[in-house]
Each structure stands twice: as C-alpha cells, then as structure tokens.
Amino acid sequence: MRSFEEFGLAPSVVETLRQHGIREATPVQERAIPAARAGRDVIVQAQTGTGKTLAYLLPLVERIKPQAEVAQALVLAPTRELALQIAKVAALVGEAAGVTSLVLYGGQDIERQKQKLRRHPQLIIGTPGRLLDHLRRGTLDLSQVNKVVLDEADEMMKLGFIEDVEHLLGEVASDRQFLLFSATMPERVKGLARAYMKAPEDIVIKGEHVTLENIEQEIIDTREETKLDTLCDVINRHQPYLAMVFCHTKARVHQVTMALAARGYLVDELHGDLTQVQRSLVLKRFRTAKLQILVATDIAARGLDIEGVTHVVNYDIPRDTEAYIHRIGRTGRAGEKGVAITFVNARQYTQLRRIEAGIKARIEKAHAERHRQHEEKQAKIKAQIAQERRAQQPAKKPLSKYANRKGADHKGYNGRSRRASSVHGRTKQKSNVGHRSKMGGRHK
C-alpha cells in the first residue's frame, strides 16, 4: 500500500491523517485519488468500509480554492447518517486545507441552516430532499459548483432519489467533474453515468471478502413464533458488548424493541420515523454503551461509524448480498473480531444460498441454546417414559423348551409341525378310548 505522502498531498493534510492513525491508502484510495486529482470523471464500484470517503474528499479539498467564498463542491448522500459521517471527515481534512464545509439534511432547523449558508461554505454535503428545499427557497446557490460526488448511488436509486439527483445536477456548472461511488451498478445508475459523465474512468474494487474475514458468520434455524425467544437466547449466550439487530420494517423494529425492553434488556430503536434529535440521542447512548442493543432498519446499515459493535443479528434475513454485507459490516471493524448471526426459516434457504453465492462462502449452521436445551429435555422425557413402561409390564412366563417365535402361550404346540400333529392325535385317541370304556363298548 502507498503512503499518503506519495500522492503529493499538502503536508498539513498528511499530518492530520497521521495524527488520526491513517498512514497508508486503501486500494480504492490508491486508484481513485490520482484520477480525481487529474480532474477526470470517475465511476467507483466498491463496498462499504473500503475507504471511499477519503478517496473523494482528499481530491476535493485539494482542488477547492479557499479564497473563493462560494460553494465549489457538492457531495450527495442518501441518508442523514451517511451525510453526517461524511461531514465529520470533511471537517477534519477541510480544516487542514483551509476549506469550510456544511452539511444539510432534513429534520434539522432550516433557519439555522440558512444562517450557516450565509457564511458561504465551499463544500456542501447533504441529502437530496433538503438540498432541493434550499434551492426552492433561494437560499442555496449551486451555479459555481464544478465538482460533484454521488455517494451510495445504488441506495439513492432504491430510495427513489434519482430524479432529485438529476434535478440537482441540472443546477451545477456545466463543466463539472462528476465522481460516482456505488456498491452495485444497476441499470438506472449506469444510465445516470452515461447522461452526465464524459469518458469516465471505471474503477472496480473486487469483493469484500477480506473485510469479512474478521467476522464469524453463522445461521440459526428458527420459526416465526419462536424468533424472539431465540434472539434472547443468542444475547444471553454471547453477552455482546454492543449488538445491532436488523429488521425489515419500522413496525417490526418497534415490536422487537418493546419486547426486549419488557424482558429487561438495555435496548432502543433506530428507523426513519425518528426525528434527527431522537436519532442523535439514540446513537450517542449506543456509542457510549448506555444501550446494549440497537434494533434498526437498513437505514442504519449504511453510513454509521460506530466503534465497538461486537455482534450483528439479522432478525429478518437480508434481501440481497449487498444488504447482508452492509449489515454485518457494522461489526469486525478496525481489525477487531465480530460475530454475525442470521435467522433463517425453512422457506428462506433459497435466499440464503443467493447470499452465500454473493459472498463466495458457506455460512456455518448453528443451533440456538433454547433449541439445544429443548432437544435435551425431550430426550430425557422419552427415556423416562420408556423406563416407566418397562416397569409397568408384567413379568413374562418362562417359555417351554418347544416355544418358538409365537411365545409360550401355545405350550410348545404350533399346530403346524408333524410332532405337534402326532402328539395332538394321540391325545385325542386316548380320550376316545376312555370314553368308549365308560359306555360299555361301541354303540351299535
């Protein structure tokens, strides 16, 4: 890996990175930084956790003119959490380069945002909805923006923001540089690249297998009616420091959170219905370990950088490989070990096989503690019943020496052997003779 000095970045920026323990570039940074510094349009396909944020922020802050008090660069993110995470890194490297930045997202006081916009930040980071809101109000001017980054483009498409993105791209300078980052490349994202990019350089960082090596993955068979009990067994058995539990819907998240809270666990929920103040409070409590368990929708799988997550539980199986990787990528970070557990029922094994094909690995099957205890209990009950039945059975009579497989009830005569027939005949003959003698001879 190359050091950041080799890229020729400003010494102040390199020193800031070093102070935060960042000394060597990741593969995506090695390939994307030179292309972006050259002013080229770039398409980068790479999974989360590969260092994409610095891959585009370092070239951006270097090419922004600190003396010009206008917005010169725009970073679009699909969620508030990702926007905030980008803003945190931008503030770090921007301060070293003398560049000011501002993050804009929904749920925040718009009047305070308007006041900050009057200070003419040079780098704008935001979600499409709030950016469009400021455009309509006339409080945001993007006409001088000539560098645009679209982060998590595939997620932007899933959330229905592509039209908003196209609107925003229509407001920036015509000679813009466009950097597009995405975990996957759906056709709609490719179409966006064709429409707004000029001879882009394609960069593909293969797989996230290396990232997943620090994560112990397993699946647990479960049924819907026993899922919650199985989750409690997993928590009790593993005793996680911080655990994230992923569900498909907000209603499901709330249901699981309330059920765990009723059982005495330190738990809270994270989903799109919460206000930004509520989200920030929940994340702060989770980061400081005042919560042990965070139940969340997939909105929390991207853009959250929470240190110390030791366990991830897929309460609902992810819809695809990308969602699976993003979810379990919350653990096993910064060289630490992590555990990812996925609940699967009998109808979901086809979906599981697709995920395994995507990560090119077979996930080990495990059994919940409750399942193991249930099996042991059933085995003990069966053994006890069998013992009681044996004790209640009457003692068998000893078999005669002529007994065969039919037992002793036939007294050794089975009615089929020649010996049995002859013995039975002689007995009958003797009986008739005795009868005739008592009658005084044969009756004429």
pLDDT band, very low/low/confident/very high, at 382 (cuts 50, 70, 90): confident
Give me the amino acid identity at 274: L
The phi, psi pair for 215, rounded to 5°, reads: -115, 120
- Residue 209: pLDDT above 50? no
The arithmetic mean of pLDDT across residues 44-73, rounded, is 89
Question: Which tokens in the block code for residue 143?
Answer: 């006409």
- Residue 330: pLDDT above 90? no
State the alpha helices, DSSP H only, in 8-79: 11-19, 27-37, 52-63
Task: Name the CATH architecture for the domain at 4-204.
Answer: 3-Layer(aba) Sandwich (3.40)
pLDDT at 354: 86
Higher-confidence residue: 428 or 70? 70
Taking each helix axis from N to C end, the angle separating 369-392 and 227-238, rounded to the nearest 10 degrees, works out to 110
Provide DSSP, 77-111: -SSHHHHHHHHHHHHHHHHHHT--EEEE-TTS-HH
pLDDT at 4: 86
Q: Are 316 and 246 in contact (CB under 8 A)?
A: yes
* Distance of alpha carbon 12 from alpha carbon 16, whole angstroms: 6
- Of 112-126, 172-186, 314-328, 365-379, the one with minimum mean pLDDT is 365-379
Q: Give the angle subtended at the CA of 429 by the CAs of 424 and 432, to the nearest 5°.
A: 130
- Residue 325: pLDDT above 80? yes
Q: Are 325 and 257 in contact (CB under 8 A)?
A: no
Q: What is the tens place of the pLDDT at every residue in 91-147?
A: 999 999 999 999 999 888 899 999 999 999 999 999 999 999 999 999 999 999 999
The arithmetic mean of pLDDT across residues 191-206, rounded, is 88
Question: Which tokens in the block code for residue 429?
Answer: 């003959």
Provide DSSP, 181-192: EESS--HHHHHH
Domains 4-204 and 209-369 fall in the same CATH topology: yes
List C-alpha distances in Å: 239 to 226, 310, 311, 348, 365. 20, 10, 9, 27, 20
State the alpha helices, DSSP H only, in 206-348: 209-212, 227-238, 250-262, 276-287, 321-328
Mapped onto helix, strand or coil, the DSSP state of residue 314 is strand
Mapped onto helix, strand or coil, the DSSP state of residue 225 is helix
Higher-confidence residue: 289 or 358? 289
| Most distant CA pair in the chain, distance | 149
* Distance of alpha carbon 208 from alpha carbon 88, whole angstroms: 24
The phi, psi pair for 201, rounded to 5°, reads: -90, 125
Q: Which residues contact 9 (CB under 8 A, 6 or more apart)?
A: 58, 62
Question: Which tokens in the block code for residue 227?
Answer: 């899922």
- Of 152-161, 293-302, 380-389, 425-434, the one with minimum mean pLDDT is 425-434
Is 93 exposed, middle or buried (CB count within 10 Å of its CB: 0-12, 13-18, 19+)?
Answer: buried
Mapped onto helix, strand or coil, the DSSP state of residue 331 is coil
Please, which residues bridge with residue 338 across strands?
Answer: 215
Q: Are 55 and 86 in contact (CB under 8 A)?
A: no
Give me the amino acid identity at 344: V
* Distance of alpha carbon 297 from alpha carbon 435, whole angstroms: 98
- Residue 399: pLDDT above 80? no
- Residue 260: pLDDT above 80? yes
Q: What is the tens place of the pLDDT at every residue in 143-195?
A: 999 999 999 898 888 778 889 999 999 999 999 999 999 888 888 888 888 89
- Residue 392: pLDDT above 60? yes
pLDDT at 443: 46
CA–chain centroid gap for 185, Å, is: 20
Residue ranges of domains in the chain: 4-204, 209-369, 384-414
Superfamily of domain 209-369: P-loop containing nucleotide triphosphate hydrolases (3.40.50.300)
* Distance of alpha carbon 218 from alpha carbon 239, whole angstroms: 16
The overall average pLDDT reported for the chain is 83
Which sign does the torsion angle of CA 212, 213, 216, 220 carry?
positive
Please give the helix or strand (H or E) that residue 179 lies within, else none. Answer: strand 177-182
- Residue 46: pLDDT above 90? no
Higher-confidence residue: 273 or 440? 273
The arithmetic mean of pLDDT across residues 359-385, rounded, is 73
The arithmetic mean of pLDDT across residues 283-305, rounded, is 83
pLDDT at 402: 54
Question: Which tokens in the block code for residue 396?
Answer: 């068998």
- Residue 28: pLDDT above 80? yes
Q: Are 44 and 28 in contact (CB under 8 A)?
A: yes
Which of 152-166, 259-273, 403-417 is predicted most confidently?
Answer: 259-273
- Residue 431: pLDDT above 90? no
pLDDT at 208: 43
Higher-confidence residue: 34 or 431? 34
Q: Which residues contact 167 (CB under 8 A, 6 or more apart)?
A: 132
Mapped onto helix, strand or coil, the DSSP state of residue 366 is strand
Percent of the chain with pLDDT over 90: 45
- DSSP letter for 299, please: G
Q: Are 219 and 344 in contact (CB under 8 A)?
A: yes
